[in-house]
Amino acid sequence: MVEETTPETQNDPHDEDAYVLAPRLLSSIIFALETQDQAQLVALMEPLHAADIADILEQVNAFDRRRIIELYGRELDGEILSEIDDGIREEVIALMRPEVLADAVRDLDSDDVVDLIEDLEEGAQETILASLEDADRVAVEQSLSYPEFSAGRLMQREVVMGPEHWTVGQAIDYMREAEGLPEDFYHMVITDPLLHPIGHVTLGKILGAPRAQKLNDILEPGFRTFRVDESESDVAYAFNQYHMISAPVVDEDDRLIGVITIDDAMNVLDEEHEEDILRLAGVGEGTLTDRVFDTVKQRLPWLGVNLLTAIMASLVIAQFEGTITALVALAVLMPIVASMGGNAGTQALTVAVRAIATRDLTGANVWRVIRREVLVGFVNGLIFAVIMGVVGLVWFGSLALGGVIAVAMVINLVVAGLAGIGVPVVLERIGVDPALASGAFVTTVTDIVGFFAFLGLAATFLL
């Protein structure tokens, strides 16, 4: 008997956890696997979005994942494959029957196929390419020949285009009669006889204009194209900056060869944002589906870097061993100075890395931003200097100790603001990814300066 989908198995869209898969749904799916009830499994998963089905495949263990793929059979389509996390995509493809895989990828646009297979091993790539029709396979192989992270990899080959002499009526008739139009498109690209794009027209204008209207008369303003070898990050920036919906891609002779749509451009921005966050934390590009060995391999190098920076800070402390021995209170208070500097540096660093990624931090405003962060550090330092001065006086009964930690706090927070902005800017200028390397440098600077300032002042004024 097929279990009906009820509010208990689906989420209430008004609930704050509306987009979290309901536990009962997962339990029902596992029950269908245990009883080998394909009809029930299909009934449970059919109403779900492809992204939700991908989440299910990611959340269950490898054994249940295999059982779902085998029992779900031909219902596993290309949209689901596109949504699956890269960490298990190859595993899922390997478990699919060849005829099911062929049906799944045939329904995808060329850009989705490229995105699906570009990170797979060569054997898995050949399996998918072999399932495509000859024309589709050639188009995908040509896209794969372009540089990684380029517009050529991002574009889809299916383009709706028309000659510059067409009228609205001719364009409408063409689109009604044409076979193989993209599932989603927003513009008709207008070309000259040599296939050079000269503009594009939105579907809304085509549908709203008289049939006799010339397409040339209703071209969209602000038309731009992208070279096939242009960086996908530049493409994504242009889409976001100029509020673009789609744009043609041209080859070295400026001939139209593809089109990029807003969904692909926004995916690039999302991936870059996620990558920056992960790199700032020193965890690489790992996901929850990665194996233990892969996760260790990603995180170990940065833990090693942190160890070296910690040793450098410890060497500074070692220079004041006698001072710490004579005044034990310093050992209690010095982690506070270093911690405050580290946090302040991380705040400025995060702002800088994000601004560099969005191209808001440039040579024209960098000095103004640096001055601002230094002043912010100075003001915050003064505020916390007063607090720590009182703490030093009340806790240890020493006005001089409170004054030393207060001055050290101001110094370290000013340096933290300077380093948080300055380090990523310098790294970006010399061609090093600021998100990847800035954290270790900023932490090292704030630790060393914090310890040196606090212990140096203590040695000078307290002993």
pLDDT of residue 340 exceeding 80, the answer is yes
pLDDT of residue 8 exceeding 50, the answer is no
Max avg pLDDT among 322-326, 363-367, 379-383: 379-383
| Closest C-alpha among 262, 228, 234 to residue 142 | 228
Q: Among 1.10.3110.10, 3.40.50.300, 1.20.120.1200, 1.10.357.20, name the CATH number for the domain at 292-461.
A: 1.10.357.20
pLDDT in tens, 380-418: 999 998 998 888 888 888 888 888 989 999 999 999 999
Token pair recorded at residue 45: 């998963």
**Report field, pTM of the whole predicted structure over 0.75:** no
CA distance 368 to 365: 5
The per-residue b/e assignment along 368-392, b for 16 or more CB within 10 angstroms, e otherwise, is ebbeebbebbeebbeebbeebbebb
Both ends of the chain: CA-CA distance in Å? Answer: 84
Q: Please tell me the predicted confidence (pLDDT) of residue 3.
A: 42
Q: Give the mean pLDDT of the chain.
A: 85
Contacts 24+ apart (CB under 8 A), 356-361: 356/424, 356/425, 356/428, 356/434, 357/272, 357/273, 357/276, 357/435, 358/237, 359/237, 361/425
Confidence of residue 78 (pLDDT cuts 50, 70, 90): confident
pLDDT in tens, 412-433: 999 999 999 999 999 888 888 7
- The neighbour count for residue 32, using CB atoms within 10 Å, is 24
Cβ atoms of 193 and 165 within 8 Å: the answer is no
Cβ atoms of 66 and 74 within 8 Å: the answer is no
| Closest C-alpha among 196, 251, 252, 253 to residue 223 | 196
Q: Cα–chain-centroid distance for residue 33?
A: 34
Q: Which residues pair with 156 in a beta bridge?
A: 259
Residues 11, 16, 17: CA angle, nearest 5 degrees: 45
Q: Cα–chain-centroid distance for residue 294?
A: 19
For residue 434, what are the CA distances in angstroms to 93, 128, 181, 247, 428? 35, 37, 42, 30, 6
Confidence of residue 289 (pLDDT cuts 50, 70, 90): low
The CATH code of domain 23-145 reads: 1.25.60.10
Q: Please tell me the predicted confidence (pLDDT) of residue 2.
A: 41
Domain definitions of the chain by residue range: 23-145, 161-280, 292-461
pLDDT in tens, 184-205: 899 999 999 999 999 999 999 9
CA distance 213 to 204: 14
Q: Please tell me the predicted confidence (pLDDT) of residue 278.
A: 63
Q: Please tell me the predicted confidence (pLDDT) of residue 187.
A: 95
Answer whether 23-145 and 292-461 agree in fold. no
CA distance 189 to 207: 15
The CATH code of domain 161-280 reads: 3.10.580.10
Q: Please tell me the predicted confidence (pLDDT) of residue 20.
A: 64
pLDDT in tens, 16-62: 555 666 788 888 999 999 999 999 999 999 889 888 999 999 888 88
pLDDT higher at 325 or 272 = 325
| Closest C-alpha among 162, 139, 276, 150 to residue 219 | 162
Tell me the one-letter amino acid at 306.
N
Cβ atoms of 281 and 293 within 8 Å: the answer is no
Token pair recorded at residue 268: 């690039």
pLDDT in tens, 163-178: 999 999 999 999 999 9
pLDDT in tens, 85-137: 877 888 888 888 878 888 888 778 888 888 888 878 888 888 888 888 888 88
pLDDT of residue 153 exceeding 50, the answer is yes
Tell me the one-letter amino acid at 130.
A
CA distance 414 to 446: 10
| Closest C-alpha among 46, 60, 50, 41 to residue 82 | 50
Cβ atoms of 170 and 177 within 8 Å: the answer is no
